[in-house]
Amino acid sequence: MAIEDDVLVVGGGLAGATAALAAAERDVRVRLVSHKESTLRHASGLIDVLGYTPTGEGPLADPFSALADLPEGHPYERVGAEAVRDALAFFDEIAGEAYAGAHTDANALVPTHGGTVKPTARYPTATAAGLASDDRDALLVGFATLPDFEAPLAAAHLEAAGVPFDARGVTVRFPGIERDDAKVTRYAHLLDRDEPVETAAGESTARAALVETVRSRLEGESRVGFPAILGDDSADAVRADLADRLGVDVFEVPMGPPSLPGLRLEDLLFDALSDAGVRVTTGVPVVDYETGADGAGSSGPARIDRVTVDRNGSEVPHSADQYILATGGLVGKGVQSDRERVSEPVFDCHVPHPADRYDWFVDDVFGDQPYARFGLPVDRDLRPLDADDALEFANLRAAGAVLGGYDFAAEKSGSGVSLATGYVAGRRAAEGCR
């Protein structure tokens, strides 16, 4: 079977998209295939590098100062600090004015919907006016039909955390929405289109009615934070219009899933993939693969010759010279477990784990959970290793949450690892093409 692509990426999240873009930059043929919708739509849209050390120290002001002390096998230890910087610079080029934070190595402190403050390296410009380091007083506005964001409670949590400003929260009705099961995209589209709505004072438009509702709640604050629902296709224009009418800075507070900032990031990345000429196919799980011996002889690691995807019940083969696995971790089903073992389902790569499943976790739900670090061990070229530390395959690399050796939730390092390892895997795969 003739080789169709130089690099084939399995997985369409942040790691997979970054890997495909990094490979395509080297002028090779790249294909990306993914099974399900990207997990980006469930993400905050923030790009964290390292918020806390593996031992719990933090929040870190300078994430790069801690990279050198990470344990052997951590994804950042595998690729090196310079690669993390290069990956961030690569992301900055892709994101353009949609993201801020490139001016400094320091983490920004971004308030989230629960009133916690998250250390992050890059953040949507929509959140920039809401940074916790800003000492201007802030009004947080929540909506009665959107219970995921309790503005008074979030403001109280920020005050308790010791932010250098007065935070106050109010809950109001969102004009034009009466039901509490409306999708976040419904809020966004009302504002995008500035649709007509009925108010107690008569007919108005969504933006004008929202401005009137919020203006009466202001008590001298110079910035107002809303849940991240301020438009989708025209988010920048919506935010600017509200700020102009209110006469204050307006910012968005990152929300839980489904996340509009995550959807915007997904759109940004997939637009970039299209512009780069990457062929993208979604909704096609990889169901099989075939290998052949490496050119060095049968004693060397096997090479993946092709993968087979299931496209609406039909098995379709795809062949490439190099492959990248970026299918996610336990949450994204890129790593799976049953009562007997932990496994990687696409290529059956080795996932180190204790033989006794009761050693996979500790009783303290907030404790240091061993399962949180389950994933593939890799060499410094991000090639997966078997139980004997030998290469699983000669032409496979792995990136993102499928990697082991780190706890992305505790470290606040998930998107940073995806970005850095995706970037390195894509570059190395392109360089390895024959």
Tally Cβ neighbours within 10 Å of residue 244: 11
- CA nearest 92: which of 129, 128, 122, 48? 122
> SS3 breakdown of the chain: % helix, strand, coil, rounded to 5?
30, 25, 45
Residue 104 tokens, joined: 């400094």
pLDDT of 295: 45
Note the pTM of the prediction, 2 decimals: 0.93
Q: Which of 53-67, 217-231, 258-272, 283-297 has the lowest mean pLDDT?
A: 283-297
Q: Which of 29-43, 88-102, 142-156 is the least confident region?
A: 29-43
Residue 107 pLDDT class (50, 70, 90 cuts) = very high
Q: Quick one: pLDDT band at residue 371, thresholds 50, 70, 90?
A: confident
Residue 329 is encoded by which pair of tokens?
């971790």
What tens digit of pLDDT does each residue of 7-30 get?
Answer: 999 999 999 999 999 999 999 999
Name the architecture of domain 5-98+263-431.
3-Layer(bba) Sandwich (3.50)
230-249 pLDDT, tens digit per residue, is: 999 999 999 999 999 999 99
Chain mean pLDDT for the chain: 92
CA distances from 33 to 416, 424, 425 (A): 22, 19, 16
User: With bands split at pLDDT 50, 70 and 90, how would you rate the model's confidence at 2?
Assistant: low
| Predicted pLDDT of residue 296 | 47
Average pLDDT score over residue span 162-177: 94
Proportion of the chain above pLDDT 70, given as a percent: 97
CA–CA gap between residue 404 and residue 265 (Å, rounded): 25
Is the model's pLDDT at 273 over the cut of 90?
Answer: yes
For the ranges 121-125, 135-139, 316-320, 370-374, which has the lowest average pLDDT? 370-374
pLDDT greater at residue 325 or residue 361: 325
- Enter the DSSP assignment of 179: -
Of residues 371 and 183, more confidence is placed in 183
Give yes or no for residue 408 having a pLDDT over 80: yes
Mean pLDDT of 33-50: 86
Strand blocks (E) in 15-100:
30-34, 99-100
**Per-domain boundaries in the chain:** 5-98+263-431, 113-253
Region at 431 (left for phi over 0; alpha for psi -120 to 50; beta for the rest): alpha
Whether residue 258 is preceded by a cis peptide bond, meaning omega within 30 degrees of 0, is yes
In eight-state DSSP terms, residue 11 is -
Asked whether 119 and 48 are in contact (CB, 8 A), the reply is yes
Residues in CB range of 209: below 8 A, 6 or more apart: 175, 176, 197, 199
Q: What is the dihedral of CA 234, 229, 16, 345, to 10 degrees?
A: -150
pLDDT top residue among 82 and 58: 82
Tokens 């392109």 identify what position? Answer: 430
Span between the terminal Cα atoms of the chain, in Å? 16
Query: What would the pLDDT profile of 120-133 be if each residue is shown by its tens digit?
Result: 999 999 999 999 99
**CATH value of 113-253 in 3.10.450, 3.30.60, 3.40.50, 3.30.2390:** 3.40.50
